[in-house]
Amino acid sequence: MPYFLNTFRTPKLGKEAEVVRAVRGSLEAIGGRGMVNVSMSSPNAPTTDMRVVGTLVLDDESAVDELLDLLFENDMEAVSSRSNISEMCSHENWSLSKVIARSSEIPEGFAPKYINRHFVPLKRGKLSDALDLLSEWGESIDHRYVYNVSVPLGGPVSMVRVTHILESFASMQELNEKVFSDPRQDKFQEMLSGSVVRALGRVTYSTM
């Protein structure tokens, strides 16, 4: 299964657009598939600054090694070359995740506009069952969207992320209604150890 590396950056006031452009340029320089999105409705918006998230898709474990070797070789020259982005930010961090399930194919002509992430806390011992349910559920919904189910390689081991990528806000709302009204909700709710947390972002660049 693939992996992906997220970079989380909080732009300084007045530097938002510059950071978005710079993150896009950094992804283009590395090559490969990925996207840039800007937080539009974060989990704790009143106390959380806007974030710019860059996502780079890595096809397998070898691709992870290759990227990290690139970033850390030669006294982290590749990281230093992007210091101009860091200087425009008040916070910066990385997060590596493993994809457990994803859309079998991307719809023809798909133009991503919104990314809706759901952070799912699970009861102990329910991880495997939940991953099976979420994988089957994501593939069976009749809707024009792209999804993936992933596990962050940092943080609680029982945390799962479900990501929906859509072409319009109306499409996102339609998908939400389908998910919330689905009879699988009852089984899903029994697996949770707490509330699902959502984060909405606007996609500004994508090479899906």
DSSP assignment of 48-64 equals ----EEEEEEE-SHHHH
Query: For the whole model, what pTM was predicted?
Result: 0.91
Given a cut of 70, whether residue 47 has pLDDT beyond it is: no
Residues 50 and 132 in one domain: no
Give the β-pairing of 197-206 and 114-121.
Answer: antiparallel
Residues 12 and 77 in one domain: yes
Residues 112 and 193 in one domain: yes
Given a cut of 70, whether residue 11 has pLDDT beyond it is: yes
Residues 176 and 105 in one domain: yes
Q: How confident is the model at residue 146 (pLDDT cuts 50, 70, 90)?
A: very high
Q: How confident is the model at residue 134 (pLDDT cuts 50, 70, 90)?
A: very high
Residues 89 and 33 in one domain: yes
Residues 55 and 107 in one domain: no
Counting the structural domains of the chain, the total is 2
Report which of residues 144 and 104 the model is more confident about.
144
Q: Which domain holds residue 81?
A: 3-97
- Residues in contact with 129: Cβ distance below 8 Å, sequence separation at least 6, in sequence order: 191
Residues 145 and 65 in one domain: no
Domain final position from 43, 67, 97: 97
How much is the average pLDDT of 181-205? 95
Q: Residue 66's CB: how many other CB atoms inside 10 A?
A: 13
**What is the chain's mean pLDDT, rounded?**
92
Domain final position from 71, 97, 123: 97
How much is the average pLDDT of 176-193? 95
Burial class (CB in 10 A: 0-12, 13-18, 19+), 124: exposed
The span from the CA of 178 to the CA of 173, in Å, is 9
Residues 8 and 90 in one domain: yes
pLDDT of residue 106: 93
Domain final position from 97, 114, 136: 97
Residues 110 and 93 in one domain: no
Over residues 49-97, the pLDDT tens digits come to 789 999 999 999 999 999 999 888 887 887 787 889 999 999 999 999 9
pLDDT of residue 46: 66
Given a cut of 90, whether residue 9 has pLDDT beyond it is: yes
Token reading at 115 = 């990314």
DSSP conformational letter for 17:
H
CATH code for the domain in which residue 8 is found: 3.30.70.100
pLDDT of residue 31: 81
pLDDT of residue 96: 96
Residues 33 and 77 in one domain: yes
